[in-house]
Chain A
């Protein structure tokens, strides 16, 4: 009885997504300071709605994720970046 339970057949083979090794772009390219005036660069860290992307997607380290979110919030205050929008890219 138990062998049928453990022998689960999938309709489609579970596609194990090849895990791309994420790296922190700031450590790799030795950037030390995230400039809040540089809207083009900050847009890489926002999704279409203009929200900040989480670390698990961008792969940035905690230290630089805080700097990026601080810079994005300053850019939003200065109306360089929108708080919310529909088509940012």
Chain B
């Protein structure tokens, strides 16, 4: 049964841009070839952490929203634990209110992009 999930992970700031891109591709690959289907992605880039994690004070945030069967989550999380570049992750099962909220968020985000473009 396909549920809707949202996962956010933080990568160590030590990585270069290419490594971050490659890592994101790796997780996308895990999702796609295990029966998951990615709906939406957001790259928040390098952000300041509220408290130091593994005594680093910044991190690359990446958000992936996807539909997947429940069994995929176990695999995804073991991958996160195995990969030492990921310093923190959170997966979240979205109920209908959460899904509606993220729909609305995507709409006004795309509007913002259009405003920026035609300014």
- Near A by CB (< 8 A), chain B positions 59-111 give 59, 61, 63, 88, 90, 92, 95, 97-98, 100-101, 105
**Contact yes or no, B8 A79, CB < 8 A:** no
Q: Do the beta carbons of A32 and B100 come within 8 Å of each other?
A: yes
Chain A, range 18-45, C-beta contacts under 8 Å to B: 32-33, 35-37
Say whether chain B's binding surface is mostly helix, strand, loop, or mixed. strand
Within 8 A of B (CB), among A44-89: 74, 76-83, 85
Q: Which of A33, A35, A77, A82 contacts B90 (CB 8 A)?
A: A77
**Bound-complex Cα distance A35 to B101 (A):** 8
In the assembled complex, how far is the CB of residue A40 from the closest CB belonging to chain B, in whole angstroms?
13
> B50 at interface (Cβ–Cβ under 8 A)?
yes
Evaluate whether A77 and B92 lie within 8 angstroms (CB atoms) in the complex, with A33-B100, A82-B51 already known: no
Q: Which chain B residues border A33 with CB–CB below 8 Å?
A: 95, 97-98, 100-101
* B39 contacts partner chain A, Cβ-Cβ < 8 Å: no
In the complex, which residues of chain A have a beta carbon less than 8 angstroms from the beta carbon of B100?
A: 32-33
Nearest Cβ on chain A to B115's Cβ, whole angstroms: 20
